[in-house]
Chain A
Amino acid sequence: MVMETDVLIIGAGPAGLAAAYETASRGLDVTIVDESISKGGQLCQQTQILRTLPSPFLAMRGYELANTLINQLDEFSVRYLLGHRMIGTYKDGSIGITDETNVFPVNPKKIIVATGAAEKAVPFPKWTLPGVITVGAAQTLVNRDFVTPGKNAVIIGSSDFAMDVAIQLSDVGVNIIGIVESLPKILARDAEKTEHIMQRSIPLYLRSSIKEARGNGEVEEIDIQFPDRIMTEKVDLVCVDGGRTPILDAFYQLGCSFGFQEELGGWLPQYNEFLQTDCKDVFLAGNAAGISSQGALLITGRIPGVRVCEELNIISKQEAEHERASHWKELENLEAKLFPEKWEARLNHIKNYANPLLKDQFIS
């Protein structure tokens, strides 16, 4: 039995939900697939306040934004397939969805892939020991599972996100032994976060890195390498922030082409100003279209949503063009100011649309 739908959205995170609102609120039948058992993606465990959100949203905490995005879909025709994954395509082009027991085809008119990003590891000897986790994992344990992941922790990396997580770990009683940054300066752009770290007397170690972790079955000790010395610390938790990279599995399965933009997280699907890939009827949104700020992600969900409505003749060309111009203006406002190098990379990426680096092959 084939499930028919106007729009199939892969991923129920902020970008997928934003794309769902654009399409469902204009009367299209929308189906959202997410492998998780809950909606909202990684927003659900973001307890920090997000300040630069697009209109009509005011500053709010991440999980509040998740609830807002979920609730605004209540009155529309949206079918959720939670605990489901896209695992491939059938010969006739329909999409194979599994509930982990059975596989069934979904035949959409348009697909919007919003699979988000994955955290990258930071390699050092014995980085695979239990107790070495990503900063995102630490945040998930604290804010989703209500579990303290350790007693004495070291944070590797000083991005805004690493700072948020350090503060949140400290607030639930984890002793932060230090924040280790290999560069000569703090990476966090929000000076307020660094201030919070200072207020908590958490040491910031610049020009330093992890030389080695040790432990019997789990992490017990680490060596922090400074330019002139090595410091050994007893820890039961190491949180690594290696940055994030777009999750591309669905794009491989659909046969999309790829380009490379370091500032947007590395390899990412080639797309044009409609956030449309070079596969007919396949669009993308959110971190999958380049790692960016929370506010920017929402707009990258709206842009393909508008195009899908235009292609399915739900809105006129004029209306779509008007909407598109205003979304791109707002994206520029949010992205170019805070992350000018990301904005540049995005424009470059779109320019390369006709000349993708990789076609018909996997990135290994």
Chain B
Amino acid sequence: MEDYGSQALRRLLEALSDAVLETHAKLGDATAQIDASRIVDVARLLRDDPDLQFEMLTDLTCVDYIEQQPRFEVVYHFYSVARNRRVRIKARVAADVCQIDSLIDLYPSADWMEREVWDMYGVRFEGHPDLRRLLLYEEFEGHPLRKDYPKERRQPLVGPRN
């Protein structure tokens, strides 16, 4: 029986071949590299297509590849409850733009995850209604999980000796 992860990628390529840049299914992890500007189209297809049915966004995170262009990679993990399958979508975001469309209209679970990525990496999610910091405080400057954030840097909210 053919792996559904590969099937999903095939369906994705068939429907949105212009948005998908690259795919692989190494070790059973179906992964597609897509054009960041098409993320909403891809997510809508994954959710609504009767052959795909990825009705759950389980994880949304980001990687800072500081020496590469484009620099940031936003990583989405979708899960199909109906079919018990997963697919991973990656989208590259350039440092000077640093923006990608929000999935909050399709997946409400994107709310806090997008806020966390904004908080830690500074990637803006266009269309998010309330893009505030999630874990850090509002006065914090910068985005600490960026590779160029100095790890010794101190930003005291309270206390004289931090």
A binds B: no
Using a CB–CB cutoff of 8 Å, the interface residues on chain A facing chain B are none
Using a CB–CB cutoff of 8 Å, the interface residues on chain B facing chain A are none
